[in-house]
């Protein structure tokens, strides 16, 4: 598949977003917070964060972004 912009990606159905992420995305990092695990992936020229609930044993959310507060939690920078 050709590279998509963030906005083109967001126009896809949830199923298409997950499929594209798990087949073409590159896993970068994971954080555990309470009953949730957050994993961030690089996909084309943007990032996607998946929230996985440990207690319910399922994915409960997906957020796509270029930069900002979501990405900041995966760095060791305390600015």
Question: Using one digit for the tens of pLDDT, what is the confidence trace for 7-64?
Answer: 999 999 999 999 999 999 999 999 998 899 999 999 999 999 999 998 998 999 999 9
**What pLDDT is stored for residue 69 in this prediction?**
77
What is the model's pTM?
Answer: 0.84
Distance, CA of 43 to CA of 47 (rounded, Å):
6
**What pLDDT is stored for residue 21 in this prediction?**
95
Distance, CA of 19 to CA of 14 (rounded, Å):
9
Q: Which residue has better confidence, 72 or 16? A: 16
Q: Is 12 left (phi over 0), alpha (psi -120 to 50) or beta?
A: beta
**What pLDDT is stored for residue 2 in this prediction?**
83
End-to-end CA distance of the chain: 37
Residue 79 above 60 pLDDT?
no
Distance, CA of 75 to CA of 12 (rounded, Å):
29
């Amino acid at each position: 598949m050709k590279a998509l912009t963030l906005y083109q990606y967001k126009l896809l159905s949830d199923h298409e977003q997950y499929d594209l992420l798990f087949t073409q995305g590159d896993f970068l990092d994971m954080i555990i917070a309470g009953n949730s695990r957050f994993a961030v992936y690089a996909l084309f020229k943007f990032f996607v964060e998946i929230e996985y609930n440990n207690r319910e044993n399922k994915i409960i959310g997906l957020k796509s972004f270029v930069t900002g507060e979501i990405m900041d939690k995966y760095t060791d920078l305390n600015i």
